[in-house]
Amino acid sequence: MGTGREEFGMKGNAVYKRSYNGCLAMCGGLPLGAEMPSENELSQALAVSRTTIRTVMAGLEAAGILRREEGARRLARHPEPDDAFPDMQTVSTSATVERRFLEWILDGHIGPGHLLTAAELARQFGTSTTIIREHLPHFQHFGLIERRPNSAWLFKGVTPAFATEIYEVREMFELRAARSFIDLPEESAPWRRMRTIEAEHRVLLASIDTDYARFPDLDERLHRTVHETADNRFIKDFYDIISMLFHYNAQWDAEDEKQRTFTALTEHLAYIEALLRRDLRAIDRACRQHLKTARSNLLRSIDLRMKVSPSPDASPA
């Protein structure tokens, strides 16, 4: 990883490093001496500005991976694994803090009723209060904390009540979305996607012993496909909360994963079949059944957590 340009700075340069690694990967597939794509093409491919691409190009030249020849850039040597920046450095401070904060919360390090101060969190996570203050409203949106004006934030806790409330809304939304799904024509994009997802479910079911770790991604795609068809920004937005919660909860609650995956796959298939048959009654039944299972899994994992780390404090409001 040799650019010699990691001075210090206030903004961090995760975008640069991510793009650098991206270009590096592109170089890997090119023969020696091949010409690089234009700056415009690269910026489009990596979804960053041309400014960043130019900085990356300069870095790659400095590292001896590219060389300039009459304006064009050519591959001078193939990149080594060592040329890339460590993955950790390719995510912004903000994203890192969000992840760490959620992990910390879901790990049960603090109990319901705990007061969070921005200043302390900033110290704890080694960033400025700016970043913390940017994220707290986000977690409020998740229903995890509550603001006291001019003062600290109240942590409401990942409690059974939280699970119940989130699932109450989730069920309303998913049922509503499912109903709009059956109104779409068979040849619409969501229907095509759903048939693919069904096939993937069968494949995964066959190789469940080895591949059950691939389930979360499939789960997300199924439910998102359903939610998308509701074509309602508030419903989609809410699914982002669900999605986040599951992502982090899954990492925590690894017990029994294979068995739970099997159950979920089975329930999903019933749900999908009902959807594709446009059988409203069966959809309702399958959907409710699946969400009920999912909710008890979440509740069980919350219970477990409360037993493992018995809330360090419990000062009421």
Partner DNA sequence: CCCTTGCGTTTTATATACAAAAAACAAACT
Partner DNA sequence: AGTTTGTTTTTTGTATATAAAACGCAAGGG
Note the residues at the interface with a copy of itself (CB under 8 A): 15, 48-49, 130, 133-134, 137-138, 141, 143, 150, 156, 165-166, 168-169, 172-173, 176, 231-235, 237-238
Nearer Cβ to DNA, position 129 or 293?
129
Which residue has 């790659």 as its token pair? 60
Which residue has 């006291």 as its token pair? 148
CA dist., res. 30 & res. 28, Å (int): 6
Nearer Cβ to a copy of itself, position 148 or 258?
148
11 binds, among a copy of itself, DNA, none (CB under 5 to 8 A by kind): DNA
Element (H, E) at 89: none
152 binds, among a copy of itself, DNA, none (CB under 5 to 8 A by kind): DNA
CA torsion, ordered 222, 223, 224, 225, to nearest 10 deg: 50
238 binds, among DNA, a copy of itself, none (CB under 5 to 8 A by kind): a copy of itself
128 binds, among DNA, a copy of itself, none (CB under 5 to 8 A by kind): DNA
Supply the minimum distance, in Å, between the C-beta of residue 126 and a copy of itself: 21
Eight-class DSSP state of 33: T
CA dist., res. 309 & res. 185, Å (int): 50
Supply the minimum distance, in Å, between the C-beta of residue 260 and a copy of itself: 25
Nearer Cβ to a copy of itself, position 158 or 264?
158
Supply the minimum distance, in Å, between the C-beta of residue 305 and a copy of itself: 20
Supply the minimum distance, in Å, between the C-beta of residue 24 and DNA: 15
CA dist., res. 225 & res. 294, Å (int): 18
Please list the residues that pair with 68 across neighbouring strands. 73
CA dist., res. 114 & res. 310, Å (int): 13
